Amino acid sequence: MINQIAIFREYLKSRDLRFTPERRLILEAILSLPGHFNIEGLYYKLHRKMGRLSLATIYRSIPHLINSGLIKEVMRYADRPQYEKSLGCPHHGHLVCINCGKILEFKDDEIEKLQDRVCREYDFKPTEHRLGIRGYCKNCRHKKGK
C-alpha cells in the first residue's frame, strides 16, 4: 500500500499536480477494496467516511490512477466501467454477467499463446490486451431458464 501511494505521489509530482487529501483517500479506498469496483461503489464507500468528497472529484482522479498504472478498466457493465487494481495483479481475462454484474476472472495459457501468435502473424508488437466475455452466470441462467 505504501508502495502504491509513493507511485501515485511521484506520478502526480511529475505532472505538477498535488497529492491532495482527497486523492489520497480515493486511492486508499481503492486499495482496501477487494477485486473489481466501479465509481459509484467507490463513491458510496467514501461518502460514508467523508461526506464532502464529490462524485466529480472521484471521476477526475480516475484518469490519473489509470495513467499511473495503479488501476485499469476491466469492462463495462450497465454502462459503467468496472475497474480493478493493476499493480501486482497478474494478467487475466474476465467473464461479466450482464444480469447480476458478477465478474469472474480466468487465466488460460492457450488463449495467451494464441494472441501472441496472432501478433506475430501480423507483425504487430502488443503492449496491452484485454479479454472480456459478456453473458449470463450459472446462477442467473438457472433463475431465468436461459
The residues of the shown chain that bind Zn ion, judged by CB under 5 A, are 84, 97, 99-100, 102, 105, 137, 140
Q: Give the residue with the Cβ less far from Zn ion, 22 or 84.
A: 84
Shortest Cβ 47–Zn ion spacing (Å): 25
* DSSP, residue by residue, 32-73: HS-SEE-HHHHHHHHHHH-TT--HHHHHHHHHHHHHTTSEEE
Rounded Cα–Cα distance for residues 69 and 4 (Å) = 10
Shortest Cβ 67–Zn ion spacing (Å): 19
Q: Give the residue with the Cβ less far from Zn ion, 11 or 101.
A: 101
Shortest Cβ 3–Zn ion spacing (Å): 20
Q: Give the residue with the Cβ less far from Zn ion, 17 or 111.
A: 111
Shortest Cβ 141–Zn ion spacing (Å): 8
Q: Give the residue with the Cβ less far from Zn ion, 125 or 146.
A: 146
Vertex 122, ends 120 and 128: CA angle to 5°? 70
Q: Which amino acid is at 22?
A: E
Ordered strands of the 132-135 beta sheet: 103-106, 93-97, 132-135
Shortest Cβ 80–Zn ion spacing (Å): 16
Q: Give the residue with the Cβ less far from Zn ion, 23 or 94.
A: 94
User: Under a CB-based contact definition with an 8 Å cutoff, are residues 89 and 76 in contact?
Assistant: no
